[in-house]
Amino acid sequence: MSDSAVFRSRLSTLLKFGFGGSEVARDPQDDTDSPVNGPMPAGAETVVDWFIDAINTSDEKSAILFLVGAPGNGKSFIAKRVREVVDPRPVGGDVRQLHSRIYQYSIGQSDRKLNIVNDATIDSESGLLVRDIDDAFLQNSHLIVNVNRGVLQDELSTSSRSLGFQLVRWAASDSSREFQLPDGFDVKARSGTGSSAVRAIDLLDTASDRTVTAVALYLDAYSLFEIQPEVRIADEHRLPEQPSRYQISQLKNRKTPEFASRTPAGMFSERVIDWLSESLPTSSGPLDPFIANIQSLLSPEIQANLYTLVRCGEIAGAKRLSYRELWGLFDVLICGSYDSDGGRKSPYEWFDSHRTSEPDEAAQSEWLMRLGNCRLHQALFGSEIDKTRRGINPVHRLMSKVDPVHDTLLDAEPSMECVHDSFYGNEYGESILEQLLRIVDEGSPVHRVITDFDREIDRRVSKLLRSDNEARGRGSERDILLKWYGAYLTRLFALANGLSGFTQEISSWIESWNTAASSADAPLRGNLERGLRELIIPNFDGQGYTYIPPFDARCEPIRVAPTAPRLALRLERQLRLKSYVLGERLIVKVLSDDHDLEKQQIEFEADFDLFREVLASSSKSTGFTESHARTTPRIERFRSGLASWGSNMDVVSVIDSSSSPMSVRVRRNS
């Protein structure tokens, strides 16, 4: 088979593992090998070794392993690793049954069994998972539970208070909820916290003197684009524990191949690129976007900067990509955003239909934009021509929030200004791309991301744009092409340098998260504290307080004296702001400055949208961004919560434009 045929075959295989592909779902009985496997998430290797050792060493111990995470995080893959050691065939049959809820295996020559709940969402009903756990303990079987957090929460609605219920409650809880012992059990040992990737608890059944050890591994706790913390077996209790703290690396520290090679996503991606590049055709036409995409990704520096962009998308979207979505990411990066006709058309079927005959000059603009939108930097953010399909693709939903075309990035390092300047040299069809390459430094990664495809696109686009004098009569068409090519080079430059939109805001969020993670109840400082105070309680006429109308439908502050008298509650700005982290969430606590009201507090998540609103505000004015419509309802709930604490020693004011506020004291029980 020729290199070209092998390459096309591998692209088709890649599509099967991408979004909506036929190979995205697996079960523990599936022996089909993936063309590429990445390292397992934090703690998975250690927990698998612990579980296999536990089920092989003691007849008086029941081991229960919760693999918690969203679809595609590798739960079935990990269960398969255990199954391969225990028994190759399930009890009661040897036929693969995709979408079965539970599988049972014999453990060696013993009478004990291993039950694997492969998908707890199948036949899901309140209390079913609780019964699975209780039955496994009564039958002296071991158990692996593949479950997402939503099912765990649903199970808590059952009225049972058995061992199974308390273990589900323990696996579903965070650090703020205590484990309640089931009747007849004592705690022998425990490890981990609500923010750890792994938690374990060792229980003793006092009636039978049997031990049940439960371990919960949270496969989506940490980003695959970060260096994973260590998980090991503690010598004292022989339980998995996480001795090292998870950190989110600053953007400036992660734009190196050395950093990328230490992350699961970096290792997985390197293997995918090697697998595809092995069969890369030695000769191809200059306008083949799929080959150009791989050629750009052969540079380790470009890979590292690409992963930085995707990590920014994760932070902005408050989501972490699973391995299934990493496959989908490379489906997008390599195959682009072409119209696959519902998955029935392969990349080269679509491509061949677009390159058989070159269009005339009148149709060239649209033809070039379609080809260019298959380039990795266009496909990553979702090109303008594919706006109607953006909601289908999870990658586009994340990356559209940090699209560099939505931010000038003139203050970034390096500045995006050189892309703007390159368009001033387009007299008489001169190359815009060559002008850009003359402006940037010789060592710039822009030189390593550009391929023959980009040069050919540039040659044709530059010729079509021409100078302003030669473009008369083609205004609207020329403007569309000019706008598209401006976005094309902006995204190309941004990907080469690892520059996402709103880089400064994301860097500030990472710094605040790391500060909160380093100590309990870390105080907020600087711009974040000033902006948050102004956002929640904006100044009334420059004073250190604000007024809110108590009976209005919305909790909008009264910023200036009204023309007609209004009844209002006065909210003081004397608040204490602290923060902590819960996984990758940054939580802010608002506490009353009155220490007699220590128990009164409000908590909310400072996500990317709210963070942008906060940083747009200062100590003297409230700022607004395009996120305002999404954040305003939450901010109003904060103010309502503050009002419920009591207003200025229970004082209600009447304010108008003619005099200072008239205050009326009310009884606390009124």
- pLDDT tens digits, 101-114: 888 888 877 778 89
94 domain-assigned: yes
| CA–CA dist 501, 402 (Å, integer) | 4
Cis peptide before 414 (omega within 30 of 0): yes
Q: Which domain holds residue 621?
A: 505-665
Does the structure show a pLDDT above 60 at 216? Answer: yes
Check whether residue 474 and residue 516 sit in a common domain. no
556 domain-assigned: yes
Strand partners, 205: 185, 210
Mean pLDDT of 306-319: 94
Does the structure show a pLDDT above 90 at 223? Answer: yes
Check whether residue 278 and residue 401 sit in a common domain. yes
For 491, residues 6+ apart whose C-beta sits below 8 A from its C-beta are 377, 378, 380, 381, 403, 404, 405
CB atoms within 10 A of CB 439: 15
582 domain-assigned: yes
Query: Which phi-psi region, left, alpha or beta, contains residue 66 (left: φ > 0; alpha: ψ -120 to 50)?
Result: beta
100 domain-assigned: yes
13 domain-assigned: no
| CA–CA dist 246, 320 (Å, integer) | 15
* Domain boundary, last residue among 461, 484, 501: 501
Per the listing, tokens 């003297």 go with: 620
256 domain-assigned: yes
- More confident call, 23 vs 238: 238
pLDDT confidence of 472, banded at 50, 70, 90? very low
* Domain boundary, last residue among 184, 217, 241: 241
Check whether residue 494 and residue 632 sit in a common domain. no
Mean pLDDT of 164-168: 92
CATH of the domain at 236: 3.40.50
Q: Beta strands of 409-550 (E only): which ranges?
A: 522-523, 545-548
Q: Return the structure tokens found at 142.
A: 């071991």
38 domain-assigned: no
15 domain-assigned: no
Check whether residue 516 and residue 583 sit in a common domain. yes
Check whether residue 106 and residue 184 sit in a common domain. yes
Check whether residue 521 and residue 486 sit in a common domain. no
Check whether residue 497 and residue 519 sit in a common domain. no
Backbone angles phi, psi at 59, to 5 degrees: -85, -10
Amino acid at 567: L
What is the spatial order of strands in the sheet that 601-605 belongs to? 522-523, 575-582, 585-592, 601-605
Q: pLDDT of 270-286, one tens digit each?
A: 999 999 999 888 767 78
Does the structure show a pLDDT above 50 at 563? Answer: yes
Check whether residue 199 and residue 116 sit in a common domain. yes
Does the structure show a pLDDT above 80 at 176? Answer: no
Check whether residue 390 and residue 526 sit in a common domain. no
Check whether residue 631 and residue 595 sit in a common domain. yes
Q: pLDDT of 404-435, one tens digit each?
A: 998 888 888 889 999 998 888 666 668 899 99
- Looking at the 3D structure of the chain, how many domains does it have? 3
* Domain boundary, last residue among 241, 274, 293: 241
Comparing 260-264, 314-318, 359-363, 528-532, the range with the smallest average pLDDT is: 359-363
Check whether residue 339 and residue 479 sit in a common domain. yes
Check whether residue 433 and residue 555 sit in a common domain. no
Query: What is the structure's pLDDT at 301?
Result: 96
